[in-house]
């Protein structure tokens, strides 16, 4: 059933992306588009690549803190697990979020449900930070007067994401505090497997019981999003677009929201949100906006995919290894 559903969903996402691009590219000047692609500053693009890869070091540091109550894992191993995991997400879409937990299960013998718990917490924290960064950007930039509707939609989306994340985090805190009682209730209704999974999932929330760990995770999250904003800003310099730090941050937030929906191997949501934001909020021409979106997509995701691919090839790892781990 799940496979059949994917067969319907994937073509649907592709169709939506194609239609969006066709509507956006109506009366499109391809000559101006290609001239925008050629007007680049390699030095700044190189800086953006370096900053992009540095974000993974911060992600690794945060993940290590989250995993500490479950198992101490060397930073180098977590780094490659993160690179390979995010490469899978960029190629396959959000369905690959299980890549890192499966990797830890195979390589480090970490219980799958406990590892999934840490990844879930990461996503909730990033959702909260996204809204915080968005709020800051709105206070320091000026946009076109006729972009009120778009800004309202961005605010609505950001609030929905943050609200969902906050409620979910509160639920996780309650679950961790009462996991023994929840486990007993589940066992009482004769579901021992789910009871065990709940207990191991709660192990991945162990950092919530330590103030120092919680503070470290929050500091990592703040540093991560600042570095991501700097990476976005340097990307604009690389494309010869003189944007302020706040404006670059706002575009990054829009792209992050758009990337929630993407076609495997193609993207779509990231590029559409990036280009649409440039046109509607800052009056950039469509040709230059689309060129900017494609360049941002390639230089933001491409280096990670290449690095992850080289590591997988060097280690001789295949998809069958993950399938074996999943059923272990």
Cβ proximity of 196 and 182 under 8 Å: no
109 φψ region: left (φ > 0), alpha (ψ -120 to 50), beta (else): left
What pLDDT does 51 receive? 96
pLDDT at 53: 94
Average pLDDT over residues 145-167: 71
The better pLDDT of the pair 190, 175 is held by 175
Q: Which residues contact 99 (CB under 8 A, 6 or more apart)?
A: 84, 85, 88, 89, 322
User: pLDDT at residue 225 above 90?
Assistant: yes
Q: Which residues lie across from 267 on neighbouring strands? A: 263
> What is the Cβ-side half-sphere exposure of residue 260, based on CA atoms within 13 angstroms?
11
Contact of 137 with 246, CB cutoff 8 Å = yes
> What is the percent of the chain with per-residue pLDDT over 90, rounded to a whole number?
22
Structure tokens at 243: 């944007």
Number of H helices, E strands in the chain: 14, 2
Q: How many CB atoms lie within 10 A of CB 258?
A: 22
Asked whether the CA dihedral 131, 263, 230, 220 is positive or negative, the reply is: positive
pLDDT at 40: 83
**In Å, how far from its chain's centre is CA 278?**
21
In angstroms, the CA 151 to CA 94 distance is 26
- Average pLDDT of the chain is 78
Point out which residues pair with 262 in neighbouring strands.
268
Pick the most confident of 90-94, 230-234, 241-245, 315-319. Answer: 230-234
Report the pLDDT averaged over residues 80-109: 87
Q: Residue 203: pLDDT band by 50, 70, 90 thresholds?
A: low
């Amino acid at each position: 059933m799940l496979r059949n559903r994917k067969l319907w969903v994937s073509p649907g996402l592709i169709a939506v992306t194609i239609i969006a691009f066709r509507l956006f590219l109506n009366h499109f000047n391809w000559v101006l588009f290609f001239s925008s692609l050629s007007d680049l500053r390699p030095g700044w693009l190189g800086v953006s690549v370096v900053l992009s890869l540095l974000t993974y070091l911060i992600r690794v540091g945060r993940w290590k803190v989250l995993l500490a109550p479950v198992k101490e894992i060397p930073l180098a191993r977590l780094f490659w697990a993160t690179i390979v995991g995010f490469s899978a997400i960029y190629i396959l879409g959000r369905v690959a979020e299980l890549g890192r937990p499966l990797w830890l299960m195979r390589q480090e013998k970490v219980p799958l449900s406990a590892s999934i718990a840490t990844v879930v917490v990461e996503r909730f924290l990033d959702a909260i930070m996204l809204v915080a960064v968005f709020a800051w950007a709105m206070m320091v930039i000026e946009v076109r007067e006729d972009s009120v509707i778009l800004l309202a939609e961005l605010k609505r989306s950001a609030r929905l994401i943050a609200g969902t994340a906050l409620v979910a985090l509160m639920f996780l805190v309650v679950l961790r505090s009462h996991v023994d009682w929840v486990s007993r209730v589940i066992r009482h209704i004769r579901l021992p497997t789910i009871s065990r999974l709940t207990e191991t999932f709660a192990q991945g929330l162990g950092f919530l019981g330590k103030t120092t760990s919680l503070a470290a995770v929050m500091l990592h999250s703040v540093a991560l999003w600042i570095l991501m904003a700097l990476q976005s800003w340097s990307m604009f310099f690389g494309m010869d677009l003189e944007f302020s730090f706040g404006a670059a941050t706002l575009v990054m937030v829009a792209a992050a929201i758009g990337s929630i929906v993407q076609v495997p191997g193609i993207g779509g949501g990231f590029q559409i949100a990036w280009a649409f934001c440039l046109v509607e909020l800052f009056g950039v021409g469509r040709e230059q906006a689309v060129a900017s979106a494609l360049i941002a997509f390639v230089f933001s995701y491409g280096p990670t995919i290449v690095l992850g691919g080289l590591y997988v090839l060097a280690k001789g790892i295949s998809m069958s290894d993950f399938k074996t781990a999943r059923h272990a």
